[in-house]
Amino acid sequence: MNRITKLFAEATEPILNVYATAGYPNYGDTMTVLNALQAGGVDIIEIGMPYSDPVADGETIQQSNQVSLDQGMSVAHLFEQLKDMRQTVSVPVLLMGYINPVLQYGVEAFCKKCAEVGVDGLILPDLPMAEYESEYQAIFEQYGLYNIFLITPQTTDARIAQIDAISKGFIYMVSSASTTGAKTGISSDQETYFKRIESMNLKNPRLIGFGISDRASFLKASESAAGAIIGSAFVKLLGQAQDLHAEIVDFVQSIKGKK
């Protein structure tokens, strides 16, 4: 069973997915960050593959992408850093990024490498659903990878139903029509949107992302979904941390209410 499916089947409390940019704050920090996230009690780790034009991301994550690229990070180097990941990391791991670097690497070679290092799924916001179905779904499935789709307040019910039909694992529910880190907290408009999606009775669970930054917003979002995703607030912490491991553990425990 895919680790993502197992997690959602067995979870007894809200699921916390934390995003971290690979090779940030320093090129060699990827596994340090992953191990600290696991030590803190995170449920899913989402690793950002640095890209020069991360259109869905706000300033904080864009800057981390640039720092990582400037330090020499690439898809090939990331796979090298992750080659022994499953010796210490047992939680589900997703790679998040944009389709261009995947195409440059070669889609099948990329999926094969994901399976080798123990990646469970991919989030590729600019991969069109029709293209995924016609070109890549069979390859993803061959290597046991889930493709996680995003929905927004502007996504039609018909399209959401289509996404739900071809999805496995969970659906990434973008809380607002903005970039990551642009807003914090949950507005009444967002709550209306959450209720609309809830009323659709989708087969896949949902995690809410964008604007989740602390325990209060995590719990609020989790009232309308299986859990939530934190990105910019965590990347900001990485950029300022003096003691990377200790501060990551502290951050995760503060969100999960374990301290």
Tell me the two tokens of residue 56.
């869905």
Of 57, 70, 80, 108, which is the active-site residue? 57
7 close to 43: Cβ distance less than 8 angstroms: yes
CA angle 207, 210, 214 (to 5 degrees): 85
Residues with Cβ within 8 Å of residue 4, at least 6 apart in sequence: 44, 92, 94, 120, 121, 146, 168, 169, 170
Measured CA to CA, the distance from residue 65 to residue 51 in angstroms comes to 6
Q: Please, is 87 exposed, middle or buried when counting C-beta atoms within 10 Å of its C-beta (0-12, 13-18, 19+)?
A: exposed
214 is catalytic: no
Measured CA to CA, the distance from residue 122 to residue 97 in angstroms comes to 8
Of 29, 43, 46, 164, which is the active-site residue? 46
- Which among 210, 226, 197, 204 has a CA at the least distance from the CA of 43? 226
46 is catalytic: yes
| CB neighbourhood size of 1 (10 A) | 8
Q: Catalytic site residues?
A: 46, 57
